Structure 1
């Protein structure tokens, strides 16, 4: 029998290396069809999974408690598997160059435990060429095996959208690729076990790598265009949301909206592509222009909040400001690469130390990464300004009175609301004489 048949007959195992927002749902999905080893170097995370706790909120505690995934931090257990999926982060350094340390480290760990006849599939977002030019040599060096003879590799970019309960692994078409026809067919069949939407067989690993990196680059550019429009319309005194609603009545208008662009994908992936382009002698024009706009939006929001405080005759240094939402996106506890921190830091430059309230966010992670402390809901009182930054469902479901109760007593024309995501009804705020601003 071939590897695919061995997997479905449970005589061979699948391993998933990296159990974060991407890897953990993959492991859980495959465990319904095959024997799965879920490996992560973070022992604290493994202990949580083993105790039935889902710190990512991607599948929920009950699912984690019931899953048959064999969670472990012991790398030697990888030797039990023949089909390996690597799903570790690919961040960037402060200078925006790719940081391949996690994927290189994962490759070394896997290489030390790789056995003959294995197939290794990378899911981490990278620039074209990383799988074959960076990862394969590490696997060969650590294992003493030869790629193509002793083991095969492929690439299948992750498309999981953290916090999204509709677009899941099972419902999104999966791109798959392999180093040859045999590996491609094996990889495609294995993923078809869990991906109901089906798979797309890319013609090469580099094509699959390139497809992934441009998906998020395209979104980044489109959001940058919306952010630039917001800046322009703000100067014109025109409401951007109203403009987009009007333009959106045309069938082929792309419905993007302005906002903060953080996280591990949209705000990072374009730099992988432009880095590789520069190595090939081409300096990006459009992609990097979009990145500059999006990277500056936190500062832009803070500056406008300060302007509105001045307009309200509130002393900026004495202003009591609360930021509602700290994660990089709605309904997701992940604070890594959040752009809300840019608002916080810019306000501090003006002498304002804002309160931060986010009931969804991983408070311990925020403390560790940014040295910020989350405020309690009860502390949100006597405010001069509220900056709504993340459209968590828990915020969107509140009526206007919930936010109104946070402000200091007195006339509303000295109270500022900066509604980044357009959560609140603008007309309601303005009828009550609040100073209301949104992107």
Structure 2
């Protein structure tokens, strides 16, 4: 049996309406009948009201997606014939892949799939996961046979939260399919909404591998620069000055030291290393980079403590203000933020930490991390200030207004290199 429909008869179901799923649903909803499904009632309610709390899609774009509707009922998806899965793929407390959302989505699909349908996965996984984990679940529940009764594809997401320059249609899309015909269909489907074009991979496994190494490469590059920062700090050399000097060569890569969090870079490498270990290979370089990057929060906290001690600001009543909690600037995304590592380490010293972030949702921060950000920090209250995220609001404040939040001789530590070196007491 072949794919039972052509593009002009495609009815698309998007499973998961987060940072990845919603932009996809909106673009497809401008062209095809599209149903966005999510298990969160607040999320569906806000989208129906024309609002996106993730700030990834403008209200005007929500309105422009005239063929897009939303549902909390999985049975409503049964009218679709092409399904795209965009659920999270996090790691657990042991830094192992947590495929629970993906498995749940596969069970949902198994209950609604019809002969001739196509299922496309976008969630980041290790090579082989789509056909080794998801497809067997769908087959078991649906009673349909893979590549005979239904078909699959994989097209890895490339969303960069908060990035206004690189939007879904302007980012080239990698595509793949379980048969040559399915691959051509998947490629044509995405080509109809992606102005930047597509790249058709030879197999689902190749497309899965391409996605997982994109962020593994970035993770390792940042790990190298973080290690250089540790070395240069011991040598008394400013890392930023070194990077600026080295950056005058045309082929020097412009990475900067910092915390590595978010839904991709700090997570995806563990999917690849998990699979590598399954097949008997111990990935040394990738895991070394992960360990180094995961330790940067504790390193920053240690540097702040040293500076406070030297200045006599460390005591039983010391208070520190953390500016920023989201995993990156000018974005409300709190997923896997490593700012919490700085906070946890400082709290281990018995230091009270206040957190201020104009982008973070206070209820979400409290639910996810037990941290309730304060609305407005008071002036002259803190023994140290840690600029953890470079939100534009902090840049607009300027270093003097930021310093005014601290007591006399308070420490100002700049994780994001937002201010000039001679204006702060320490930075990565």
TM over 0.5, shorter chain: yes
Q: With the length of structure 1 as denominator, give the TM-score of the two structures.
A: 0.94
The Cα shift of 1:62 comes to 4.0
Whole-Å separation in 2 of the counterparts to 1:302 and 1:132: 43
Whole-Å separation in 2 of the counterparts to 1:7 and 1:51: 29
Whole-Å separation in 2 of the counterparts to 1:95 and 1:106: 23
Whole-Å separation in 2 of the counterparts to 1:316 and 1:292: 31
Q: What SS does the corresponding residue of 1:164 show, helix, strand or coil?
A: coil
Instruction: Report the counterpart of residue 205 of structure 2 in structure 1.
Output: 206
Length, aligned pairs only: 426
The 5 A counterparts of 1:33-432 are: 33-68=31-66, 69-408=68-407, 410=408, 414-427=409-422, 429=423
Q: What SS does the corresponding residue of 1:377 show, helix, strand or coil?
A: coil
Q: Deviations over 1:230-283 (max 9, x none)?
A: 111001110001100000010111111100001111011101101110111110
Contact 1:309 1:316 in 2 (8 A): no
Q: What SS does the corresponding residue of 1:397 show, helix, strand or coil?
A: helix
Where do 5+ consecutive residues of structure 2 fail to align? none
Whole-Å separation in 2 of the counterparts to 1:209 and 1:378: 45
Q: Deviations over 1:288-311 (max 9, x none)?
A: 000000011110011111111111
Contact 2:386 2:413 in 1 (8 A): yes
Whole-Å separation in 1 of the counterparts to 2:188 and 2:393: 40
Q: With the length of structure 2 as denominator, give the TM-score of the two structures.
A: 0.97
Instruction: Report the counterpart of residue 432 of structure 1 in structure 2.
Output: none
Contact 2:377 2:405 in 1 (8 A): no
Contact 2:308 2:411 in 1 (8 A): yes
Q: What SS does the corresponding residue of 1:416 show, helix, strand or coil?
A: strand
Contact 1:51 1:65 in 2 (8 A): no
Contact 1:7 1:14 in 2 (8 A): no
Q: What SS does the corresponding residue of 1:85 show, helix, strand or coil?
A: strand
Q: What SS does the corresponding residue of 2:98 show, helix, strand or coil?
A: coil
Contact 1:15 1:39 in 2 (8 A): yes
Instruction: Report the counterpart of residue 436 of structure 1 in structure 2.
Output: 425
Equivalent residue in structure 2 for 1:12, among 1, 10, 13 = 10
Whole-Å separation in 2 of the counterparts to 1:196 and 1:165: 16
Alpha carbons of structure 1 residues 301 and 204: separation in structure 2 relative to 1, 3 Å: same
CA RMSD of aligned residues (A): 1.5
Whole-Å separation in 1 of the counterparts to 2:118 and 2:315: 59
Whole-Å separation in 2 of the counterparts to 1:110 and 1:380: 54
The Cα shift of 1:315 comes to 2.5
Alpha carbons of structure 1 residues 363 and 17: separation in structure 2 relative to 1, 3 Å: same
Q: Deviations over 1:307-329 (max 9, x none)?
A: 11111111343222100000111
Where do 5+ consecutive residues of structure 1 fail to align? 430-434
Alpha carbons of structure 1 residues 197 and 75: separation in structure 2 relative to 1, 3 Å: same
The Cα shift of 1:3 comes to 6.6
Whole-Å separation in 1 of the counterparts to 2:46 and 2:335: 19
The Cα shift of 1:146 comes to 1.0
The Cα shift of 1:164 comes to 0.6
Whole-Å separation in 2 of the counterparts to 1:240 and 1:324: 22
The Cα shift of 1:71 comes to 0.8
Contact 2:13 2:80 in 1 (8 A): yes
Contact 1:316 1:351 in 2 (8 A): no
Q: What SS does the corresponding residue of 1:102 show, helix, strand or coil?
A: helix
The Cα shift of 1:382 comes to 2.2
User: 266-275 vs 374-383, which deviates more?
Assistant: 374-383
Contact 2:305 2:314 in 1 (8 A): no
Whole-Å separation in 2 of the counterparts to 1:183 and 1:66: 29
Q: What SS does the corresponding residue of 1:399 show, helix, strand or coil?
A: helix
The Cα shift of 1:136 comes to 0.6
Whole-Å separation in 1 of the counterparts to 2:208 and 2:314: 51
